[in-house]
């Protein structure tokens, strides 16, 4: 195992409470996440968590959100036990690193904050 990068992000959930959630969802969610968003009971928390994870992933890649990587290139889901699973568009990740990667993420939240952590592992 070789670590390519580590990223973290923290945000106040209140930033999303006054936002136009539908417009924000269209801007940051992948098509798979959009389906989950529609069925989400707490749309504000759902978007806050996705945004936070995507920022942490971008920081782990060392590129931020912009030219090399967009919000929609990153998809967050959960496995059967509820563990967060993150996928990055393979064509995009190959432009940043030529290796195959595995993205590890962790998310925590309180009433006011969301925290995410990302480790990108190179598979050799």
pLDDT of residue 72: 93
Positive or negative, the CA dihedral 68, 121, 57, 43 is: positive
pLDDT of residue 59: 95
Q: Give the contacts of 6 (CB within 8 A, at least 6 positions apart).
A: 60, 117, 118, 119, 120
Domains of the chain, first to last:
2-123 (3.90.470.20)
Residue 82, judged by CB atoms within 10 A of its CB (0-12, 13-18, 19+), counts as: exposed
Q: Is the pTM of this model over 0.85?
A: yes
Mean pLDDT for each consecutive 10-residue tract of the chain (124 residues)? 93 89 93 92 94 95 87 93 90 74 94 96 85
């Amino acid at each position: 195992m070789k670590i390519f990068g580590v990223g973290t992000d923290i945000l106040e959930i209140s930033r999303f409470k006054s936002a136009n959630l539908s417009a924000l969802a269209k801007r940051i969610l992948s098509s798979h996440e959009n389906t989950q968003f529609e069925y989400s009971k707490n749309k504000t928390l759902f978007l806050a968590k996705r945004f936070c994870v995507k920022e942490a992933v971008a920081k782990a890649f060392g590129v931020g959100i912009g030219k090399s990587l967009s919000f929609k290139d990153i998809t967050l889901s959960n496995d059967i036990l509820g563990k967060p699973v993150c996928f990055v568009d393979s064509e995009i990740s190959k432009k940043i690193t030529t290796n195959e990667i595995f993205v590890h993420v962790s998310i925590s939240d309180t009433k006011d904050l969301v925290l995410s952590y990302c480790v990108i592992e190179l598979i050799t």
